[in-house]
Structure 1
Amino acid sequence: MARRSVFLVGPMGAGKTTVGRRLAQSLGLDFFDSDEEIERRTGATISIIFEIEGEAGFRKREHKVLQDLTALPGIVLATGGGAVLMPENRELLRARGTVVYLKTSVAEQLRRTRSSVHRPLLQDADTDPESRLLELTQEREPLYDSVADIVVESPGRKVGATVKDVLDRLTDAHSTSRPG
Structure 2
Amino acid sequence: MLKKHNIFLIGPMGAGKSTIGRQLANQLNMKFFDSDQAIETRTGANISWVFDVEGEIRFRDREEKIIDELTKKQGIILATGGGSIKSSITRNNLATRGLVIYLETTIEKQLIRTQHDKRRPLLRSSSMSGNIRELLEILSKERNPLYEEIADIKISTDEQNIRTVVGKIISFRNQNAI
Partner of 1:33: 34
- Report the 3-state secondary structure (helix = DSSP H, G, I; strand = E; otherwise coil) of the residue aligned with 1:123: helix
Runs of 4 or more above 3 Å deviation: none
- Report the 3-state secondary structure (helix = DSSP H, G, I; strand = E; otherwise coil) of the residue aligned with 2:176: helix
Equivalent pair of 1:108/1:156 in contact (CA under 8 Å): no
Partner of 1:164: 167
1:126 and 2:111 equivalent? no
* Cα distance between partner residues in 2 of 1:113 and 1:153: 17
* Residue identity opposite 1:49 in structure 2: V
* Residue identity opposite 2:165 in structure 1: T
Partner of 2:21: 20
* CA deviation string 1:51-99 (max 9, x = no partner): 1010001001101100110000010000000010000000000111010
Could you tell me how far 1:127 is from its partner in structure 2? 4.5
- Report the 3-state secondary structure (helix = DSSP H, G, I; strand = E; otherwise coil) of the residue aligned with 1:152: strand
RMSD of aligned Cα (Å) = 1.0
Unaligned 5+ segments in structure 1 are none
Unaligned 5+ segments in structure 2 are none
Could you tell me how far 1:166 is from its partner in structure 2? 1.2
Normalising by structure 1, report the TM-score: 0.94
Partner of 2:117: 116
1:144 and 2:147 equivalent? yes
Could you tell me how far 1:44 is from its partner in structure 2? 0.7
* Residue identity opposite 1:128 in structure 2: N
- Report the 3-state secondary structure (helix = DSSP H, G, I; strand = E; otherwise coil) of the residue aligned with 1:155: coil
Partner of 2:9: 8
* Cα distance between partner residues in 1 of 2:32 and 2:18: 9
Moved more, 125-134 or 137-146: 125-134
Q: How many residues align?
A: 175
Partner of 1:101: 102
Equivalent pair of 1:39/1:45 in contact (CA under 8 Å): yes
